[in-house]
A and B are shown apart, each in its own frame.
Chain A
Amino acid sequence: TQLLEQSPQFLSIQEGENLTVYCNSSSVFSSLQWYRQEPGEGPVLLVTVVTGGEVKKLKRLTFQFGDARKDSSLHITAAQPGDTGLYLCAGAGNFGNEKLTFGTGTRLTIIP
C-alpha cells in the first residue's frame, strides 16, 4: 500500500512569514500533485510535478519534486491570509491519475 505522509499536520504562522510543507513516501510516483481545499469545497489542483528534481513556481508558491520521485515540498513566501486552507499532496501511479494516493494533509492558518 502506498502512503504519503505530510508534515506538519497543522501550521499556524503570522502574515509575511515563509513556510515549507513536506510530503514524503517510501514509494515512487510517476507524478505528484498539490491541491488546496477550502472548507465545504472539493480540492483544487495547484500544480503537477512529473520529473525528479523538478521545481515549479506559482507566484509565491514553489513546488519541488524529489530526485527519486518519492517526496515533494511546497514552499510559500511571504504568506498571506488568503493562503489559509488545507494543502494536500497526491501521488499518481504508472497508469495515470485514476487512482491518486492522497497525503494526510497540512492545515495552514495565516494570522493577519
Chain B
Amino acid sequence: NAGVMQNPRHLVRRRGQEARLRCSPMKGHSHVYWYRQLPEEGLKFMVYLQKENIIDESGMPKERFSAEFPKEGPSILRIQQVVRGDSAAYFCASSPANGSPLHFGNGTRLTVT
C-alpha cells in the first residue's frame, strides 16, 4: 500500500525558472494539502485541494505560486520565476476526508541558485 509519493525528491532551479512539484496521494484519498518547511522552521500551510477544486489557498503567496489537483493524475504545485527565498522543503499530505489524519510524503527539496 504505497504512501504519499512526491517527486522529484530534489529539484535545483536557477532564479527565474519554473519549478513543478508533483504529489500522488495515497490510494483512496481525495484531499491533498501542501505545506512548506523553511530551514529551522516549522511547516507552514499553503493550500488545500480536493479533486478539481481549491478549497483553501490562504497560505499561498499571491503571486508566482499556483496549485491544482486534476481529475486524473497527481496534484501539482507550480512556482513561476523562482527566487532564492523559495528554497525550502515542500511537503504534500493526503487524507480520505476532512478531519481524518494527514499522511505526509517525504517532500521535495527545492534549491534555487
By a beta-carbon cutoff of 8 Å, the part of chain A in contact with chain B is 4, 33, 40-45, 48, 88, 90, 95-105
B106:A97 contact, CB within 8 angstroms: no
Q: How far is the CA of A101 from the CA of B41 in the complex (A)?
A: 12
Which of B42, B48, B55, B106 contacts A102, CB < 8 Å? B42
Q: In the complex, what residues of A have CB within 8 A of residue B58's CB?
A: 99
A88:B42 contact, CB within 8 angstroms: yes
Cβ-closest chain B residue relative to A42: B104
Q: How far is the CA of A3 from the CA of B59 in the complex (A)?
A: 14
B42:A104 contact, CB within 8 angstroms: yes
A97:B42 contact, CB within 8 angstroms: no
- Whether A102 touches B33, Cβ cut-off 8 Å, given contacts A42-B107, A97-B100, is no
Cβ-closest chain A residue relative to B99: A96
Cβ-closest chain A residue relative to B95: A97
Q: Which of B31, B44, B98, B102 has the most CB of A within 10 A?
A: B102
Q: In the complex, what residues of A have CB within 8 A of residue B69's CB?
A: none
- Please report the number of residue pairs spanning A and B whose Cβ atoms sit closer than 8 angstroms: 57
Q: In the complex, what residues of B have CB within 8 A of residue A102's CB?
A: 35, 42-44
By a beta-carbon cutoff of 8 Å, the part of chain B in contact with chain A is 4, 31, 33, 35, 41-45, 48, 55-56, 58-59, 91, 93, 95, 98-107
Cβ-closest chain A residue relative to B105: A42
Q: In the complex, what residues of B have CB within 8 A of residue A41's CB?
A: 106-107
Q: In the complex, what residues of A have CB within 8 A of residue B95's CB?
A: 97
Shortest beta-carbon distance from B59 to chain A in Å: 7
B104:A44 contact, CB within 8 angstroms: yes
A to B CB contacts below 8 Å, 15 in the list: A41-B106, A42-B106, A42-B107, A45-B101, A90-B43, A97-B100, A97-B101, A98-B33, A98-B48, A98-B55, A99-B48, A99-B56, A100-B45, A103-B42, A104-B42
